[in-house]
Amino acid sequence: MNNKPIGIFDSGVGGLSVWKEIVKTLPNESIIYYADSANCPYGPKTVETVQELSLRIVNFLLEQDCKIIIIACNTATAAAIKMLRSKFNIPFVGLEPAIKPAAENTKTGKIGILATEGTLKGNHYKKTSHEYANGLDIYTQIGEGLVDIVENDNIDSDSALELLKSYVEPMLKNDVDNLVLGCTHYPFLCDTIKKIEGADKINFINPAPAVAIQTKRVISGLECDNKSPYYKFYSNSDISTLKKIYSKITPSELNTEFIVVD
């Protein structure tokens, strides 16, 4: 048994969609989460900048004695996971656009990818789309502004709905039936997307459950036997949205601490 915590990081609060699945799949594990909200969003940033930010966060999580690190950010995975694996002797689990399940489940042969600019430019996207979606029609959309909507807790606003309409309605007109959520912030927008006429027929593909399963597989033999796991959330910016989303997705009282860092 290894009672060291699992480390998770994201550009902000979006990685809570992954955190939720990790807690469900590995309920005895303690988790340390780092939200880099001061530098959010990552999508428009250069590869070099995202690598630098990721490296800084990983060093912080290693100081907290994490045994594995989950990159709960598609953009950071695309830009930095290869570099991080070359520098550190610790397991990393990242995200990639969940094109395979979308391709397997589509009935129209048309799938949508809603993702950040950094994700759509990354090799992970190019590789998975080539490998699993050959012969299918893929409609991609950069979700500019969506991360900020979640970070600023404007999910239920009229402006959020209008922006999402501009992104999703063209896909609906093209008969897209599976929508890949290519950013960990986007699952928190699903209820708003469902308000768009016709969107109730879309199957949302959220990669977070698969990340939790992969994490369980990677740490096999290093599982924690802690009956009272703890959860620490660090942020280098305002922590109110992090707390609010946490309270929405957490069904019971947990041993939780929120900490603001420089």
Catalytically annotated residue among 40, 66, 183, 224:
183
Domains 6-94+209-260 and 99-206 fall in the same CATH topology: yes
- CB-CB contact of 136 with 111 (8 Å): yes
Amino acid letter, 97: P
**66 belongs to the catalytic site:** no
Q: Active site residue: 40, 66, 73, 224, which one?
A: 73
CATH number attached to the domain at 99-206 = 3.40.50.1860
pLDDT (average), residues 147-172: 96
Domain 6-94+209-260 bears CATH identifier 2.60.40.10: no
Give backbone dihedrals phi and psi of 235, rounded to 5 degrees, phi first.
-145, 145
Catalytic residue check, 224? no
234: which strand partners?
34, 259
**Which amino acid would we find at residue 65?**
D
Domain ranges of the chain: 6-94+209-260, 99-206
Strand, coil or helix: what is 115?
A: strand
Q: Is 68 helix (H, G, I), strand (E, B) or coil?
A: strand
Say whether pLDDT at 52 is over 60: yes
Asked if 77 and 207 touch (Cβ cutoff 8 Å), the reply is no
pTM equals 0.93
pLDDT, tens digit (0-9, with 9 covering 90-100), for 162-180:
999 999 999 999 999 999 9
pLDDT tens per residue, range 67-114: 999 999 999 999 999 999 999 999 999 998 899 999 999 999 999 999
Whose structure tokens read 């959020």?
160
